[in-house]
A and B are shown apart, each in its own frame.
Chain A
Amino acid sequence: DGGITQSPKYLFRKEGQNVTLSCEQNLNHDAMYWYRQDPGQGLRLIYYSQIVNDFQKGDIAEGYSVSREKKESFPLTVTSAQKNPTAFYLCASSIVGRGRSNQPQHFGDGTRLSIL
Protein backbone atom coordinates (compact mmCIF):
# COMPACT_ATOMS: atom_id res chain seq x y z
CA ASP A 1 0.00 0.00 0.00
CA GLY A 2 1.18 3.50 -0.76
CA GLY A 3 1.79 5.87 2.08
CA ILE A 4 4.13 8.04 4.09
CA THR A 5 6.57 6.56 6.58
CA GLN A 6 8.07 8.65 9.33
CA SER A 7 10.81 7.39 11.60
CA PRO A 8 11.55 7.10 14.38
CA LYS A 9 8.23 7.33 16.20
CA TYR A 10 9.96 8.71 19.32
CA LEU A 11 13.23 10.63 19.40
CA PHE A 12 15.23 12.18 22.19
CA ARG A 13 17.70 15.00 21.77
CA LYS A 14 20.44 16.14 24.07
CA GLU A 15 21.22 19.82 24.49
CA GLY A 16 23.36 21.15 21.64
CA GLN A 17 22.72 18.13 19.43
CA ASN A 18 21.32 18.03 15.90
CA VAL A 19 18.81 15.30 15.11
CA THR A 20 17.30 14.22 11.80
CA LEU A 21 13.75 13.02 11.29
CA SER A 22 13.09 10.75 8.34
CA CYS A 23 10.14 11.00 5.95
CA GLU A 24 9.68 8.68 2.97
CA GLN A 25 6.70 8.44 0.61
CA ASN A 26 5.84 6.00 -2.16
CA LEU A 27 2.80 7.88 -3.45
CA ASN A 28 4.76 9.47 -6.31
CA HIS A 29 3.79 12.89 -4.97
CA ASP A 30 5.81 15.90 -6.06
CA ALA A 31 5.24 18.04 -2.99
CA MET A 32 6.30 17.28 0.58
CA TYR A 33 5.81 19.23 3.78
CA TRP A 34 6.96 19.34 7.40
CA TYR A 35 4.69 20.58 10.17
CA ARG A 36 5.16 21.10 13.86
CA GLN A 37 2.29 20.41 16.26
CA ASP A 38 2.27 21.68 19.84
CA PRO A 39 -0.36 20.68 22.42
CA GLY A 40 -3.66 22.46 21.92
CA GLN A 41 -2.46 24.14 18.76
CA GLY A 42 -2.91 23.60 15.08
CA LEU A 43 -0.17 22.62 12.68
CA ARG A 44 2.49 25.13 11.72
CA LEU A 45 4.42 24.79 8.49
CA ILE A 46 8.21 24.47 8.84
CA TYR A 47 9.40 23.77 5.29
CA TYR A 48 7.93 22.53 2.06
CA SER A 49 9.23 21.29 -1.26
CA GLN A 50 7.36 21.11 -4.55
CA ILE A 51 10.14 19.56 -6.60
CA VAL A 52 13.41 17.72 -6.11
CA ASN A 53 16.37 19.92 -5.16
CA ASP A 54 14.12 22.84 -4.26
CA PHE A 55 12.43 23.82 -1.00
CA GLN A 56 10.96 26.88 0.67
CA LYS A 57 10.69 28.11 4.24
CA GLY A 58 7.36 27.95 5.95
CA ASP A 59 6.14 30.01 8.88
CA ILE A 60 8.59 28.69 11.49
CA ALA A 61 11.74 27.61 9.64
CA GLU A 62 14.30 29.05 12.09
CA GLY A 63 16.35 26.31 13.73
CA TYR A 64 15.41 23.69 11.12
CA SER A 65 16.92 22.52 7.85
CA VAL A 66 15.78 20.16 5.08
CA SER A 67 17.00 18.53 1.90
CA ARG A 68 15.18 17.07 -1.08
CA GLU A 69 17.68 14.99 -3.03
CA LYS A 70 15.11 12.37 -4.03
CA LYS A 71 11.42 12.64 -4.82
CA GLU A 72 10.60 10.03 -2.19
CA SER A 73 12.52 11.53 0.70
CA PHE A 74 12.34 14.80 2.65
CA PRO A 75 14.38 14.58 5.89
CA LEU A 76 14.12 17.31 8.51
CA THR A 77 17.06 18.25 10.73
CA VAL A 78 16.32 19.94 14.04
CA THR A 79 19.45 21.91 14.81
CA SER A 80 20.82 23.09 18.14
CA ALA A 81 19.64 26.57 17.16
CA GLN A 82 16.05 25.46 17.73
CA LYS A 83 15.67 26.31 21.41
CA ASN A 84 12.30 24.71 21.98
CA PRO A 85 12.23 21.58 19.82
CA THR A 86 9.92 19.44 21.95
CA ALA A 87 6.89 18.82 19.74
CA PHE A 88 5.13 16.35 17.48
CA TYR A 89 6.45 16.56 13.91
CA LEU A 90 4.29 15.59 10.96
CA CYS A 91 5.36 15.01 7.38
CA ALA A 92 2.88 15.24 4.51
CA SER A 93 2.82 14.97 0.73
CA SER A 94 0.49 15.93 -2.07
CA ILE A 95 0.02 16.11 -5.82
CA VAL A 96 1.07 19.38 -7.44
CA GLY A 97 -0.10 20.86 -10.69
CA ARG A 98 -2.41 23.35 -12.31
CA GLY A 99 -5.94 23.00 -11.09
CA ARG A 100 -4.81 20.70 -8.31
CA SER A 101 -5.44 23.04 -5.38
CA ASN A 102 -8.25 20.78 -4.22
CA GLN A 103 -5.95 17.82 -3.72
CA PRO A 104 -5.53 16.91 -0.07
CA GLN A 105 -2.30 16.32 1.75
CA HIS A 106 -1.53 12.83 3.01
CA PHE A 107 0.14 12.59 6.41
CA GLY A 108 2.55 10.24 8.11
CA ASP A 109 2.04 9.05 11.69
CA GLY A 110 4.47 11.59 13.13
CA THR A 111 7.63 11.69 15.23
CA ARG A 112 7.54 12.86 18.82
CA LEU A 113 10.74 14.70 19.74
CA SER A 114 11.70 15.32 23.36
CA ILE A 115 14.66 16.97 25.04
CA LEU A 116 16.74 14.99 27.52
Chain B
Amino acid sequence: GDSVTQMEGPVTLSEEAFLTINCTYTATGYPSLFWYVQYPGEGLQLLLKATKADDKGSNKGFEATYRKETTSFHLEKGSVQVSDSAVYFCALRGSARQLTFGSGTQLTVLP
Protein backbone atom coordinates (compact mmCIF):
# COMPACT_ATOMS: atom_id res chain seq x y z
CA GLY B 1 0.00 0.00 0.00
CA ASP B 2 0.88 3.67 -0.04
CA SER B 3 3.34 4.97 2.52
CA VAL B 4 5.22 8.16 3.38
CA THR B 5 8.53 8.29 5.22
CA GLN B 6 9.52 11.56 6.77
CA MET B 7 12.72 12.80 8.32
CA GLU B 8 12.50 12.28 12.04
CA GLY B 9 12.64 15.28 14.31
CA PRO B 10 12.75 17.30 16.25
CA VAL B 11 14.68 19.81 14.16
CA THR B 12 16.05 22.92 15.85
CA LEU B 13 17.46 25.79 13.79
CA SER B 14 18.52 29.34 14.35
CA GLU B 15 16.60 32.11 12.65
CA GLU B 16 17.63 32.67 9.01
CA ALA B 17 19.08 29.15 8.70
CA PHE B 18 18.33 26.93 5.70
CA LEU B 19 15.69 24.25 6.20
CA THR B 20 15.33 20.85 4.58
CA ILE B 21 12.83 18.24 5.72
CA ASN B 22 13.14 15.01 3.77
CA CYS B 23 10.12 13.09 2.53
CA THR B 24 10.05 9.94 0.41
CA TYR B 25 7.05 7.93 -0.64
CA THR B 26 5.88 4.59 -1.96
CA ALA B 27 2.81 4.51 -4.14
CA THR B 28 1.48 2.97 -7.31
CA GLY B 29 0.65 5.20 -10.21
CA TYR B 30 0.99 8.95 -10.01
CA PRO B 31 0.04 10.29 -6.60
CA SER B 32 -0.47 13.92 -5.71
CA LEU B 33 1.88 15.15 -3.00
CA PHE B 34 1.26 17.64 -0.22
CA TRP B 35 2.94 19.38 2.67
CA TYR B 36 0.76 20.38 5.60
CA VAL B 37 1.73 22.49 8.63
CA GLN B 38 0.27 22.23 12.12
CA TYR B 39 0.70 25.03 14.65
CA PRO B 40 0.30 24.20 18.37
CA GLY B 41 -3.26 23.29 19.32
CA GLU B 42 -4.58 23.69 15.79
CA GLY B 43 -5.58 21.57 12.85
CA LEU B 44 -3.55 21.08 9.69
CA GLN B 45 -3.18 23.75 7.03
CA LEU B 46 -2.17 23.05 3.48
CA LEU B 47 1.26 24.55 2.85
CA LEU B 48 1.88 23.48 -0.75
CA LYS B 49 1.16 20.74 -3.23
CA ALA B 50 2.40 19.17 -6.48
CA THR B 51 0.35 16.96 -8.74
CA LYS B 52 2.81 15.58 -11.30
CA ALA B 53 6.47 14.81 -11.77
CA ASP B 54 8.83 17.82 -11.76
CA ASP B 55 6.11 20.14 -10.45
CA LYS B 56 7.34 22.58 -7.83
CA GLY B 57 4.94 23.65 -5.11
CA SER B 58 5.71 26.87 -3.29
CA ASN B 59 4.14 29.05 -0.61
CA LYS B 60 5.37 31.48 2.06
CA GLY B 61 9.00 30.91 1.02
CA PHE B 62 8.70 27.12 1.27
CA GLU B 63 9.31 24.95 -1.80
CA ALA B 64 9.13 21.26 -2.67
CA THR B 65 9.72 19.52 -5.99
CA TYR B 66 7.98 16.30 -7.02
CA ARG B 67 10.84 13.94 -7.95
CA LYS B 68 9.46 10.75 -9.42
CA GLU B 69 12.87 9.22 -10.12
CA THR B 70 13.79 9.39 -6.42
CA THR B 71 10.17 9.21 -5.12
CA SER B 72 10.85 12.27 -3.01
CA PHE B 73 9.17 15.56 -2.10
CA HIS B 74 11.61 17.33 0.21
CA LEU B 75 10.53 20.58 1.84
CA GLU B 76 12.98 23.51 1.75
CA LYS B 77 13.12 27.10 2.89
CA GLY B 78 16.07 29.40 2.44
CA SER B 79 15.70 31.43 5.62
CA VAL B 80 13.46 30.27 8.45
CA GLN B 81 11.76 32.53 10.95
CA VAL B 82 10.64 31.95 14.54
CA SER B 83 7.06 31.97 13.27
CA ASP B 84 7.82 28.87 11.16
CA SER B 85 8.03 26.76 14.33
CA ALA B 86 5.41 24.03 13.88
CA VAL B 87 4.96 20.39 12.92
CA TYR B 88 5.25 19.63 9.22
CA PHE B 89 3.52 16.66 7.58
CA CYS B 90 4.23 15.19 4.18
CA ALA B 91 1.25 13.41 2.59
CA LEU B 92 0.22 11.74 -0.61
CA ARG B 93 -3.09 11.01 -2.25
CA GLY B 94 -2.91 7.96 -4.44
CA SER B 95 -5.29 5.82 -6.41
CA ALA B 96 -7.35 5.06 -3.31
CA ARG B 97 -8.09 8.79 -3.03
CA GLN B 98 -7.26 8.79 0.65
CA LEU B 99 -4.50 10.85 2.17
CA THR B 100 -1.56 8.93 3.62
CA PHE B 101 0.51 10.97 6.07
CA GLY B 102 4.07 10.82 7.27
CA SER B 103 4.71 10.86 11.01
CA GLY B 104 5.43 14.59 11.10
CA THR B 105 8.56 16.62 11.81
CA GLN B 106 8.66 19.10 14.69
CA LEU B 107 10.54 22.27 13.75
CA THR B 108 11.70 24.78 16.35
CA VAL B 109 13.34 28.01 15.21
CA LEU B 110 15.31 29.93 17.83
CA PRO B 111 15.76 33.72 17.68
The answer, yes or no, to whether B99 is at the interface (CB within 8 Å) is yes
> Which chain A residue shows the least CB distance to B29?
A101
Q: Is the interface of A mostly helix, strand, loop or mixed?
A: loop
Which stretch (B14-22, B43-51, B68-76, B78-86) binds chain A?
B43-51
> Which chain A residue shows the least CB distance to B52?
A102
Evaluate contact between B101 and A109: CB separation under 8 angstroms.
Answer: no
Tier of interface size on chain B? 20 to 34
Q: How many A-B residue pairs have CB under 8 A?
A: 55
Question: Contacting B46 at CB < 8 Å: which of A6, A104, A110?
Answer: A104
Q: Mark B13-43, 1 if CB is under 8 A from A, else 0.
A: 0000000000000000001101010000111
> Which chain A residue shows the least CB distance to B9?
A40
Distance in angstroms between the alpha carbons of A92 and B31 in the assembled complex: 19
Q: Name the interface residues of A31-56: CB closer than 8 Å to any CB of B.
A: 33, 40-43, 45, 48
Distance in angstroms between the alpha carbons of A113 and B103 in the assembled complex: 20
Enumerate 15 A-B pairs (CB-CB under 8 Å) in ascending A order: A33-B98, A41-B103, A42-B4, A43-B44, A45-B98, A90-B44, A96-B97, A101-B31, A104-B34, A104-B49, A106-B46, A107-B36, A107-B43, A107-B44, A107-B45
